[in-house]
Amino acid sequence: MSKITHFEIHDVRFPTSLSGDGTDAMNTECDYSSAYVSLFASGGLVGHGMTFTIGRGNEIVCQTIAELAKRLVGRDPESLFANMGKAWDYMCADPQMRWIGPEKGVVHIAAGAVNNALWDMFARVRGKPLWKLVVDMTPEELVDATAFRYITDAITREEALAMLKAKEAGKKEREATVKELGYPAYVTSAGWLGYTDEKVARLTKEAVAAGFNHFKMKVGADAGNDLRRGKIIRSIIDDPQYLPAGQPPRDPNSPALKGKNAGPTGAVLMIDANQVWDVPQAIEYVKSLEEIKPWFIEEPTAPDDILGHAAIRRALKGTGIGVATGEHAHNRMVFKQLLQAEAIDVCQIDSCRLAGVSEVLSVLLMAAKFGVPVCPHAGGVGLCEYVIHLSLIDYIAVSGTMERNVLEFVDHLHEHFLYPCSINENGRYKVPSNPLEGYSIEMYKESIAEFEWPNGSYWVKAKGGN
């Protein structure tokens, strides 16, 4: 019998604040960071996981990961793999750590890193990418892998099982389809708030040429500047001359684009405020940007304000602009209430703010029941590597659709991972296929050695030069 023997934790930080990457109205200086954990078990087994932060405070997450990982030391991995829902409950059940959550904040995102590492080990042991491990599960196994506590008033285990069984017959066909086409993606890299107009225009043209037709820009610091930047982006994405050679404009009224405020080429623009407004201010501000025809406003107010999001959604109904949130929704109960209150048009999960795959599964199931598309957040180091797996699980096994879904893609820091995500010529994610990659989050040892805080070679050199 194998046992989990020990773990290693690394505080890895990248100096993205120097280039303005990741900047928005709330977060003006972002050093993309990874609180990174590796679980080791006898027999040479290993699983890697991480949680994303933007710099200072990453060390606190690392300390918390250590407290949670201790609960798994001495456990037989196979006994945990047999029921990952119960394993998730056990990992979250330390009463003293739970007290300083519960199921929110630093404790919860640390739990995400540990749960993701356990899932990575599970997938590696079975010789499958994480998404394939999950979609190959029976409906019963998938339900057992899901965190259900506190959400059975929105979806019961029995309802989830019936939904999964109803989708089971088409799984092989959907898997073949997405392998052929790729998973739809949108690009945020052109729209960071700290970029100059010239850089926004250049990056937008590059994104159109790469095949993307969904684009997101950050807003919220100054309405006039936002309108100007939005018009720059619209002038490019709505102009057929910038489309890749031989690619005709998409039909704005097609099923995949209907209701998305698509322009004449079928291009879609989204805006993201990163929580900066009160509710009345959000409504007024977003209406002032109606001219650039966004599909949705993301994070218009505090991420925990369910009724505030619902009020904003009602007020914007006449504009054709929807509401999206979820990047900072810290657990499945917040998503449950957002869905029950009809507060969102788009559900945006985060792969490690939620406490790992088991909790993500619960949100995917609820969103499918309520008929709300899931478009995961991926604007940070490692998140793109993670979330393609989650979107594939959603499409193949849970919702059965990717027609209206788009998955965020940010072209940052992929070179630090052994199994980086990639985009095909049509602006869609390629399907991870390496049987060794698990959850695709293993980082190069050289990258850890260079960027570990505070004694990695990059940071030692940076401190020497002030």
| H helix and E strand count, the chain | 18, 11
Whether the Cβ atoms of residue 268 and residue 216 lie closer than 8 Å to each other:
no
In whole angstroms, give the CA distance from residue 53 to residue 109. Answer: 9
Tokens standing for residue 295? 């599909």
Exposure pattern of 42-59 as b/e (b: 16+ CB <10 Å)? Answer: eeebbbbbbbbbbbeebb
Active site residue 377: yes
Characterize the bridge pairing of strands 183-187 and 428-429.
antiparallel
Tokens standing for residue 109? 């995102």
Whether the Cβ atoms of residue 436 and residue 55 lie closer than 8 Å to each other:
no
Selected catalytic residue, list 128, 218, 260, 416: 218
Peptide bond preceding 454: is omega within 30 degrees of 0, i.e. cis?
yes
Selected catalytic residue, list 48, 132, 260, 377: 377
* Torsion from C-alpha of 317, 321, 326, 328, nearest 10 degrees: -110
Whether the Cβ atoms of residue 67 and residue 44 lie closer than 8 Å to each other:
no
Residue whose token pair is 């054709």: 320
Q: How far is CA 117 from CA 123, 130, 135, 269, 331, in A?
A: 10, 11, 18, 35, 18
If residue 452 lies in a helix (H) or strand (E), which one and from where to where?
Answer: none
Query: Using alpha carbons only, how large is the chain's radius of gyration in Å?
Result: 21
Active site residue 414: no
Q: Can you name the residues that pair with 39 across neighbouring β-strands? A: 7, 47
What contacts 280, CB < 8 A, 6 or more positions away? Answer: none
In whole angstroms, give the CA distance from residue 16 to residue 323. Answer: 28
Whether the Cβ atoms of residue 288 and residue 319 lie closer than 8 Å to each other:
no
Whether the Cβ atoms of residue 328 and residue 303 lie closer than 8 Å to each other:
yes
Active site positions, annotated? 218, 377
